């Protein structure tokens, strides 16, 4: 039957062997591997969906052949007879027309 003392000695010996093997492995390992050249870093923030250029409308909605612009008398400095409150009301109606189309 084993005693406690040889058992502890045995355990210490096994641990020391393990520790030395670890140390030896670290020291003898080739240095080149430590430079981290092969390490791969993935930034999750960069995994975004690619930009879909096809969804771009290639031209702006400024139409050169637009009759309204050809007939324009220059820069708008007044609202053309509509009061500012009227413009806001018209805009609100437009907005209601568009927002109604959002499914809910």
Partner 1 sequence: MVIAFGNIKPGTGKSTLLLLLASYLAGKEKKKIYLIDMQAGGTLGLLSERSAILEHQLPFEYYHCDLSHFELLYARLGAERDAYVLVELPSSMHDERIMGVFSKLDLLFCPFCYDRPTLNSTIYFASLAKRIKTGISLVFLPNRIVSSAGYEFKQEIDALLRQISPLSTGIGEHIGFQRISSLQLDSQLIERYCATLDLIYSHYLAKPE
Of 102, 74, 103, 79, nearest in space to 89 by CA: 79
Closer residue to partner 1 in complex, CB, 12/95? 95
**Chain centroid, CA 32 distance in Å:** 33
- Interaction between residue 81 and partner 1 (CB under 8 A): no
Closer residue to partner 1 in complex, CB, 4/97? 97
Closer residue to partner 1 in complex, CB, 37/48? 48
The one-character DSSP state at 49 is P
Cβ(63)–Cβ(69) below 8 Å: yes
Give contact residues for partner 1 (rule: CB under 8 A): 45, 47-49, 51-53, 55-57, 60-63, 66, 68-69, 75-77, 79, 84, 87-88, 90-92, 94-95, 98-99, 101-104
């Amino acid at each position: 039957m084993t005693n406690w003392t040889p058992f502890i000695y045995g355990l210490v010996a096994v641990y020391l062997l393990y520790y030395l093997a670890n140390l030896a492995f670290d020291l003898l390992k080739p240095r080149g591997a430590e430079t981290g050249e092969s390490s791969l870093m993935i930034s999750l923030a960069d995994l975004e969906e690619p930009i879909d250029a096809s969804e771009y409308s290639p031209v702006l909605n400024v139409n050169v052949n637009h009759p309204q612009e050809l007939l324009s008398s220059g820069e708008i400095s007044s609202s053309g007879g509509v009061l500012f409150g009227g413009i806001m009301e018209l805009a609100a109606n437009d907005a209601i027309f568009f927002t109604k189309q959002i499914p809910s």
